[in-house]
Structure 1
Amino acid sequence: MRLVWARYALDDRGNIFSHIESENPKAAAHVDEEIVRAARRLLDFPESGRPGRIAGTRELVIPRTPYIAAYVVMADRVRILRVLHGAQMWPDELDENRTGRGIHREDSSDGK
């Protein structure tokens, strides 16, 4: 099993880091480390996140942060789709990647 970050998830991490870094660079690094640490735990416990609000996804609350990682469990990997603030309005669609089929709220696919 391997961990894969979708482009959107990497963009989310970069935006989170930049936003926090402007006020507190040390806190920005800490939050990013927490996100990565929590995501890596999914390799051992891929079903540990709750069922996602979008069919076929799961959501992992990132400890000690207000962020949630949306992900899919596939046969050989865990793919982090997005990292979003828990209080923000979520999109109706979470793209697995920018060129592939997205996962939509009404989609009943399991993401595999």
Structure 2
Amino acid sequence: MKVLWAPEAEQDRAGVWSYLSADNPQHATARMDELFSIAVSSLAERPNPGHSGKISGTRELIPYESYRLVYEVENETVWMLALLLHRQISGVSSGYARPIK
């Protein structure tokens, strides 16, 4: 399977890196990038390790403590839809979107 990031998920990832680098620039971003990369890579091999998502058709994986990866599997593609900090989760009210093919 291939893994693709929706533009919104890419923005989420950039936002997380900005947030982390403000607190501990070198260690935080390198370590978290490694953890997220491992989690996302594992989805290419086993796309359903997470639990059912809050939105129908999505799944969620917790790569590290208070972070949640939201994704969906379609045919041979795992779409990364969002990367959320735990404090953001309660405020999610709309559906996630992926690029239209």
Q: TM-score w.r.t. structure 1 length?
A: 0.80
Gaps of 5+ in 1: 101-112
For structure 2, which runs of at least 5 residues remain unmatched after alignment?
none
Give the fraction of aligned pairs with identical amino acids, expressed as a percent. 32
Q: Which is richer in helix? A: 2
The residue number in structure 2 matching 1:87 is 87
**1:33 is matched with which residue?**
34
The CA RMSD over aligned residues, in Å, is 1.5
Partner of 2:74: 74
Could you tell me which residue of structure 2 aligns to residue 11 of structure 1? Answer: 11
CA distance in structure 2 between the aligned counterparts of 1:57 and 1:66, rounded to whole angstroms? 18
Give the whole-Å Cα distance in 1 for the aligned partners of 2:92 and 2:29.
22
Is the aligned partner of 1:46 residue 2:47?
yes
More contact order relative to length (CA 8 Å, sep ≥ 6): 2
CA change 1:28–1:91 in 2 (3 A) is farther
Whether contact under 8 Å (1:13, 1:32) holds in the other structure is no
